[in-house]
Structure 1
Amino acid sequence: MKAAVFRGPNQPLTIEQVDIDEPKEREVVVRTVASGVCHSDLHFVDGLYMWPAPAVLGHEAAGVVEKVGSQVSYLKPGDHVIACLSVFCGYCEECMSGHPNLCSNKAATQRKETEKPRLSQKGTMVNQFADLSGYAEKMLLHENALVKIPDNVPLDRAALIGCGVMTGVGAALNTAKVAPGSTVAVWGAGGVGLAIIQGARIAGARMIIAVDKFASKLELAKKLGATHAVDASKGNPVEEVQALTGGGVDYSFEAIGLKVAAEQAYESLMAGGIATIVGMVPLGQKVEVDGFSLLYEKRIQGCFMGSNRFRIDMPRIIELYQQGRLDLDGMITRRGKLEDVNEAFRAMKAGEVARTVLMFD
């Protein structure tokens, strides 16, 4: 099959032929139809996070089941599915306590080192990224990395749910639990930030402030639910957020992965407010807060994949989309082919897109 191969940081991905194995007992082969280009992949390409090369990146994908292993009962060939990097074992303490996104036994869903690799080239292993590897014509996954969806849901929109939308909507609804009538500020109006904004709107926030340095992104944020916009390139966004709200917001979110943005999100809170850091701050960097400010019961917390239980949450997100309460169409800025993946990364860094979706059909 054709795949975009990661050969190391600060190098473009190369389109190559990669061998994919047959599914074992609880594995599934999915024909990839659409794969979103997420900022998290770019972190690895830019060397801010490390992943062993060679590898096939990509973790925001949707497609159609082609083959299933002998013990798979949840899926059958022809089913439409969304892949999710929150693959879960189903029986560790985290899974059993209702936090499958924090599964501590993912090894149970992966192949052992002594087994034939899922992906390879001339017998040499090609590393699978996030148990998915969505920048390829096919994916070989554990069944617990997939959720079945209705056949009438467009798969390019569904792909977004696999990471960006689940992360953002989940951050608002599951992690922070935004309350009706509250005030919200979101640092970053890319794919995840736009999903947070929509999640806050669905939750009933009365004021939603988008913070970004690109005017086009702020304009899109307003279309998707932001009530106010702050251009971070023209001044101190904390001061502007405080001026708009009369002292600070109830909830703030950081959706970029920048130390300074995470600190600004915290500084924008009113007493008792909660800052949720969703972006991937580079390894080794510390997020600092003023110790005295904690006396005012301000909180800062992390978020992984929107605190999801994805087989419950993703079908609900689809229903919100079908009801017209969640806009997925407007989040797709461009569509391209697998060969356009490096251009998609460039456009993302330049702030030209909210989301590019690579189409395989």
Structure 2
Amino acid sequence: MEKRYQVFVSSTFVDLQEARGKVIQTLMEMDCIPAGMELFPAMDEEQMQFIKRIIDDCDYYLLILGGRYGSVSAEGISFTEMEYDYAIERGLKVLAFVHEKPEDIPAKFTDSDPALKARLGAFREKVKTGRLVRGWNDLKELPGLVSLSLNKTIKTYPAIGWVRADQITSTEAVREQNELLKELEALRKELQRSKTTSVPKVEGLAGLDEQFPVTLTDYAGMDAKRYQRSLTWRQIFVQIAPDLQVAQNDSSMRGAIGQALLSYIGVKTPYHGTVDNEDYKTLRTQFAALGLIGLVVNGEGEAQTLFWELTPEGAALMLQGRTVKSSTNGE
């Protein structure tokens, strides 16, 4: 039976209308079913509830980010970001296409409000953290990028999809097919969990309160400032642990650690922090050996990605070091 996959296309509307058209055409040529907000370019909270039901029926979620944050809800969150958050919450596989040079986008297609620009920047960083994204600069690139990415995603993470009713012999056959697909997905997730790298017990590990010299760099344009500080393993871990409450891509952790530690040692508003590469490898290995993080391999072949996950021991240490204690001493 030939299946068709439903793909939700999310983006701001007016500035990316042409981009959406090209992506939707690509999806249709791939025999996919595009879904999105063409009928509701001006969103509100009531329509958002309807959109959630559409996302519930989709197999994959595709996000296009340009130069605008988009119209916002009463809470100040754009409807595009709300769609993204809901897709993540539902566990859909996300394909994100982020404009690499938003500063080159014509002014009429960008936000003039500094607050919206800041929110767009934060949204871009959120999307790029913990998952592979594709950069684009020209509309001509999008169809090819979408086709390659979606084909690979479908092969790696096959979804339930839709089948014509006349291709199903009975309701029972549909039920059996869905159950088999659920079992397949459960087995795939179990296999993924089994790929967590196991770290053998190491004798003589440095204790949490022993110090380690860390070299940090803050890049600000052509100006790079280097700092070296001796911090305890506990101090380092407690600073970075809150970001690990959601699994983080290994490629993003070096910068995240640099930013966190530069702030911790008193560098005001670090521009782009990073930790020395060899120090970073040592930190990753030490925290894994201490049982504070798990290292998980996600994907297959060239698409393999390493993620950091907080272990129960790491979560306990984080809560101990980053929670606010009562000043009343129980009185």
For Structure 1 versus Structure 2, the TM-score category normalised by the shorter chain is under 0.3
Between structures 1 and 2, the one with greater helix share: 2
TM-score by length of 1: 0.23
TM-score by length of 2: 0.24
